[in-house]
Amino acid sequence: MEIGIDSFAATRSPDSKPEENVIIMEEVIQRIEQADKSGLHMFGLGEHHRSEFLDSAAHMILAAASQRTKNIRLASAVVVLSATDPVRVFQNYATLDLLSKGRAEIVTGRGSFTESFPLFGFNLHDYDALYTEKLDLLLKIREKETLSWSGKFRAPMHEQSIYPRPIQSPLPIWVGVGGTPQSFQRAGLFGLPLMVAIIGGETHRFNPLIDVYRKTYVNAGHSSEHMKIGIHSQGYVAETMDQAVDDYYHGYKMMFDKIGLERGWPPVTKDRFLFQNGPTGAYLVGDPETVATKILRHSKSLGGVSRYTFMMDNAGLTQDQILRSIKLIGSEVIPRVNEGLE
């Protein structure tokens, strides 16, 4: 099982000054470096166009990190494909693949926020159709250097060539999904690896949706040997469970209460957080043994998982806390997971 980190390059406040954001960018690069040194398998950066985050051009941050790392895979998490041009997405990540000597990945998605649609002139009513069409084009670009193509939302292409080409053939492309059956089915139809963002609730409740993906994947004629399923959850590792919860909860509550005001969610409570961090809950906040045991339990309940990623830098943690957590994941969580899978 691959284990990694996802990040949104969170600012310390929506009013952070540019000179403060310079420091935050350097801290993100340091986290990727530490993940590489600690033996984690991948590091993903999201895409947002909001004052709380600095990841609007994630491929640029990953490109910088590629020059200071050796082994770790570098991925979008996710690139909001609906609101961008698939040609540019392919070019950006093919370039990253060259810079990193074959370590780039694209995780595509529709995004959990919607600010990119009006920002780039797209109609939110086309939310699903935009993604389906653009994913189709992205996959065709990956397959063929020169192609002709036409669709509803982009100018047609007539025997046009797209460069550069990546080292990896094919360049890995995953589908990032939330909780809609259509998204799981789409990933299966295209025969692409699946990355499931579980931001709350109980992990086992996603089993029926993952079954939809598996059945659609096989029925569409794709070989099950190439099927991959990944899980993305809130997570943080400290020396003890009490320390992990104490470190994580306050910043987590602040962030999710803010998002909840926009989306009509009730305020976060400690009891609800502890339930979601319990044995069947999605969160991976705890000591190394508890977290490793939980990863194995969730993987078994979902029929086997290929990748697990921790989302930890949206909870107001300090740089030292995050770096220490990454070290613990590499030195104590990954060995326990590997041992449990033997």
Sketch out the chain's domains with CATH numbers.
Answer: 2-341 (3.20.20.30)
Q: Look at residue 264 and tell me whether its pLDDT is greater than 90.
A: no
Q: How many CA atoms lie within 13 A of 305 on its CB side?
A: 25
pLDDT band at 176 (very low <50, low <70, confident <90, very high): very high
Classify 112 as helix, strand or coil.
coil
Q: What was the pLDDT predicted at 258? A: 85
Q: Look at residue 11 and tell me whether its pLDDT is greater than 90.
A: no
Q: What was the pLDDT predicted at 160? A: 97
Rounded distance, CA 323 to CA 317, Å? 10
Q: What was the pLDDT predicted at 85? A: 96
Cα 66–17–235 angle (5° rounding)? Answer: 55
DSSP lists the bridge partners of residue 307 as: 2, 230
Mean pLDDT calculated for residue range 127-133: 93
Residue 138: enclosing H or E segment and its boundaries? helix 127-143
Mean pLDDT calculated for residue range 275-297: 97
- Amino acid letter for position 221: G
Give the predicted TM-score (pTM) of the model. Answer: 0.95
Could you tell me if 272 and 321 are in contact, meaning their C-beta atoms sit under 8 angstroms apart?
no
DSSP lists the bridge partners of residue 214 as: none
